Chains A and B, each alone.
Chain A
């Protein structure tokens, strides 16, 4: 039974998606989706436990031995990412019930949950599989589902945002596909482990280098690495609140995971350093942190502000990957986890405001902090975590990132990481100023606190931000193990 968990994580949401789609309207589709997401979270937890205690799991799909069949290969890296994705899904779905009823047309509700489950299938599939073509298939499953989810937004801009994302996302995925084809033409295999043994002999070939470049650019588009992030602000701004929560906390994280796998498992250790990719990551990371943080300061829409902040946070992860050291990767993985917590909490709080006020432009939320103290509290703590104040999860990731930068005496990177935090103070301050210190715009309209069903998931993530800022055993411990696997040294 235990060995089947890796497959169940993909098959359970996949099979329940069409079932949810044909369920009658009402709350039944939500209930089924929630049960599925919750059981995925439990399975992912068991899987991580099994991997940490019993070592790598290898699951042969349909009994076909790798490298001929598709292999699901689970080590600490992907078990960790799978747990993040499944847990965020399980926390997002209780939140979805009310938020989706408010923001999505009633007749679309079953299809909405069906698309959510398909998106979850794709994201979990990417984390589970050990086959680079299979990654493409799951990437497209999750992407297609997320295009549909984004287009459910209430404003018509949602359609153009989804269209824009579709064009960019498809180009990215096709680039990845070209890269896989070129590498297959020189190695004759698609299995990651098999590639890792064959690739060192053919690395000098132009075809392999070209394939590597195509794959990196393709994934960079998917993870919204600066300057390929242009689809992200619109997509996050116009998507329904709950979709923004889910995508912001999971989709880019999974793309970061794929990048790590390609760079460190599929291609041999140290190959990226011989190509321009390594410097590119550092430059793109630095440029992303600065420009996206500055853009965030000038946004008048809270969701868009947080979206730009997401681009900046991806910059931190890319920077950590660019260092290519065990500490750098630990920082990237810890930040991957922590950023899912903080952006999940912040977007949920913003979703609660949208639920009550129906808008999230700065001038429309003036003074709401007093009327919605719990939502406001969530934004404050989430914001502090985003800045990296000690005692919050954000501090831990910034700390490891600075340590990694100091290790390599990359002084510019250290300065950028710290000034990125200062810029975060400005844009978080801007939200807090609008919510608390500005006089209420429309005094006649009484706004009450968000319903408890929205507050509970939000505060679950907020408290997680504080908890993982104090107790780092789980996050840093697992991330260190995962980073050690990636750079190929035993912990």
Chain B
């Protein structure tokens, strides 16, 4: 049992981060905090992919003399793409928050909701 928990520690981190991120997105009313939650959620997926690609005792996937076992580079490359997508999403989300702040003078979800419905 202990072996199962310790042996899969990276997956436990993934699960915890994923839940923390999703919970933050759902529970926080502050638009910036939501983005932070979204980022944590995405990072957990990066960890998941990086864990998948790792081969026990494998070296970095660069051909060198005397190395027999390499890690699988494909998930790492995939997640590099996903990181870029995540950066673009965060940038766009922050830009939207700036515009929301300019037109509502607040970034609290409930206050924005009240402003829209008091018109």
Contact = CB atoms under 8 A, between A and B. Distances in A.
Contacts, number: 68
A181 interface: yes
Most chain B Cβ neighbours within 10 Å, of A133, A144, A181: A181
A46 to B, nearest CB: 30
Contacts of B89: 140, 144, 166, 170
Interface in A127-185: 133, 136-137, 140, 144, 147-148, 151, 156-157, 159-160, 162-163, 166-167, 170-171, 173-174, 177-178, 181, 184-185
Contact of B41 (A162, A174, A184): A174
Most chain B Cβ neighbours within 10 Å, of A140, A173, A177: A177
Nearest to B89: A170
B93 A166 contact: yes
A174 B96 CA distance: 20
Nearest to B101: A159
B6 to A, nearest CB: 20
B38 A163 contact: no
Contacts of A185: 52
A140 B52 contact: no
A162 B38 CA distance: 15
A303 to B, nearest CB: 16
A192 to B, nearest CB: 16
Interface string B81-100: 11001001100110011011
A200 to B, nearest CB: 21
B103 A174 contact: no
Interface string B5-47: 0000000000000000010010000010010001001100100
A166 B48 contact: no
Given A171-B38, A174-B41, 18 more contacts: A136-B85, A137-B81, A140-B89, A144-B85, A144-B88, A147-B96, A148-B92, A159-B96, A163-B96, A163-B100, A166-B92, A167-B34, A167-B93, A177-B82, A178-B48, A181-B49, A181-B78, A185-B52
Interface of A: 133, 136-137, 140, 144, 147-148, 151, 156-157, 159-160, 162-163, 166-167, 170-171, 173-174, 177-178, 181, 184-185
7 contacts: A151-B96, A159-B99, A159-B100, A159-B103, A160-B116, A166-B89, A166-B93
Interface of B: 22, 25, 31, 34, 38, 41-42, 45, 48-49, 52, 75, 78, 81-82, 85, 88-89, 92-93, 96-97, 99-100, 103-104, 112, 116
